[in-house]
Amino acid sequence: MNHDNKKIAGLLGFVGITQIILAIIICEALYSGYSVGLQYISDLGNWSLAGNYAAIFNVSLILAGILGIASAYFIHKAFRNKLFTSLLTVNTFCNIPMGVFSKDISMPMHGIFALIGLIFGLGATFMSSKFVKPPLSYAPVILGGVILLAIVLQASGFYLGLGLGGIERLEIYPSLLWGLAFDGYLIGESGNTVSTSARA
């Protein structure tokens, strides 16, 4: 049933995002001397800097990718929108090679997949507004705008006093927060109340 597909998709996505957020918090606490403002999130998975604690972050990234792909599969079964499914699948898949290729193992590979994931994640955030009802549908547009602004600011070298790590978090956290909200919406939705007429 379409209703069941949404619930499964929401549950898988919620678990995937929650565990990566918790992994970030744990690694930030364990990584002695880590600076949220001055260091990238991906430094938490840098073996030469974080030591064995990097395993927590890298494994969490891989798990987030696997759960995200599974969630995208059930989202496609629910909404039958190829473009949205593609955006979600590419975005979440990029977590896997990012977890395998940490910055100290292969910065080019890590950076390429991080950029691809960011772009496709931004697209998925904006597009998801069509699958939820107002006023919740305004949230991904606003949060997507924050992400886009943060990307422009970082590219321009303006960090608003937040540092590299701070401005990067404005690119990443809005997407994660919206992902939790969207997944919660899918879990709690009763019946097939979302229009699926728009197909790519």
What does the pLDDT look like over 60-72, one tens digit per residue?
999 999 999 999 9
In which band, very low, low, confident or very high, does the pLDDT at 197 lie, cut at 50, 70 and 90?
A: very low
- Please report whether residue 52 resides in a domain: yes
- Please report whether residue 158 resides in a domain: yes
Per the structure, the count of domains in the chain is 1
Q: What is the pLDDT of residue 190?
A: 52
Percentage of the chain exceeding pLDDT 90: 90
Q: Which domain holds residue 38?
A: 2-188
- Please report whether residue 117 resides in a domain: yes
Using the CB atoms, write b or e for 32-69: b if 16+ within 10 Å: eebeeeebebbbbbbeebbeebbebbbebbbbbbbbbb
Q: What is the pLDDT of residue 193?
A: 47
